[in-house]
């Protein structure tokens, strides 16, 4: 099997956000089992959703500024969502990116890296699991969480004590690789029923 394509999606678009630091750290943890594409939602225009629900029109006409995002999501074999908690859930821009797409998530594996004050992004992650379940995506059990992220990273974006987060990232990547390999094989007919 060739190298799997992993899209790391930065879910926050707020000015001054910390997501790019976390995404870049996670990208450094990824080994040669995956080819990485970091998708920053701040680089995409995410307008109001079309009138027809994606279940009824799974491939709507999208604004020109969204074509790159759509293509990159479609090309990925798996995803890791990097998200903070916003009001005990995940960012609106991330929800818009998810809702504009339907078939792109289907039968693909998804992992999570969360960061925030007290919860470390876990409240957002739990809500995202419900959403992706509805879209027939498989969310892996393991995750990486950074509670009080502002105390864990130094001013250069490096972890002060990297051992535990690196172990969590390795476990997440192992599960993501297993599930992604299985799902890609199943979609290409390599699995015997």
Query: pLDDT tens, 97-135?
Result: 999 999 999 999 999 999 999 999 999 999 999 999 999
76 within 8 A of 6, measured Cβ to Cβ: yes
Residue 45: is its pLDDT beyond 70? yes
User: What's the pLDDT band for 18 if we cut at 50, 70, 90?
Assistant: very high
**Which domains, and CATH codes, for the chain?**
4-188 (3.40.50.360)
What pLDDT is recorded for position 12?
96
Residues paired with 110 in a beta bridge = 79, 139
Lowest mean pLDDT among 76-80, 174-178, 189-193: 189-193
pLDDT tens for 137-151 read 999 999 999 999 999
Task: Decide if 58 contacts 43 (C-beta within 8 A).
Answer: no
What pLDDT does 92 receive? 94
DSSP category for residue 102: S
Mean pLDDT of 75-96: 96
Phi and psi angles of residue 25, each rounded to the nearest 5 degrees, phi first: -60, -45
Confidence of residue 17 (pLDDT cuts 50, 70, 90): very high
H-run or E-run covering 37: strand 34-40
Q: What is the mean pLDDT of the chain?
A: 94
Taking CA atoms, 116 is separated from 112, 152, 169, in Å, by 13, 11, 17
Question: Residues of the chain with pLDDT > 70: what percent?
Answer: 98
Q: Cα–Cα distance between 153 and 136 in angstroms, integer? A: 35
User: Measured between alpha carbons, how far is 100 from 53 in angstroms, rounded to an integer?
Assistant: 9
- Compute the average pLDDT of residues 162-174: 98
Could you read off the pLDDT of 116-125 as tens digits, one per residue?
A: 999 999 999 9
Whether the pLDDT of residue 37 is over 60: the answer is: yes
CA distances from 73 to 54, 66, 89, 115 (A): 16, 11, 22, 23
The pLDDT value given to residue 65? 86
Query: Do residues 46 and 96 touch, judged by C-beta distance below 8 A?
Result: yes
What is the predicted pLDDT for the residue at 78?
A: 98
Residue 193: what pLDDT?
A: 43
pLDDT number for residue 191? 55
Q: Over 60: is that where the pLDDT of 192 sits? A: no
Cα separation, 137 vs 182, in Å, equals: 13
């Amino acid at each position: 099997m060739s190298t799997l394509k992993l899209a790391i999606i930065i879910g926050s678009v707020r000015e001054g956000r910390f997501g790019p630091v976390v995404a870049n750290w996670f990208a450094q943890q990824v080994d040669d089992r995956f080819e990485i594409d970091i998708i920053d939602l701040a680089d995409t225009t995410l307008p109001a959703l079309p009138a027809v629900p994606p279940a009824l029109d799974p491939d709507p006409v999208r604004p020109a500024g969204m074509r790159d995002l759509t293509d990159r999501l479609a090309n990925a074999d798996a995803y890791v969502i990097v998200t903070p908690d916003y009001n005990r859930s995940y960012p609106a821009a991330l929800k818009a990116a998810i809702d504009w797409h339907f078939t792109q998530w289907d039968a693909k594996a998804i992992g999570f890296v969360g960061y925030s004050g007290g919860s470390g992004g876990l409240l957002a992650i739990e809500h995202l699991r419900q959403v992706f379940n509805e879209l027939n995506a498989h969310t892996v059990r393991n995750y990486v969480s950074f509670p009080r992220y502002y105390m864990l990273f130094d001013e250069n974006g490096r972890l002060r004590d990297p051992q535990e987060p690196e172990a969590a990232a390795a476990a997440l990547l192992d599960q993501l690789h297993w599930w992604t390999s299985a799902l890609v094989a199943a979609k290409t007919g390599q699995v015997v029923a």
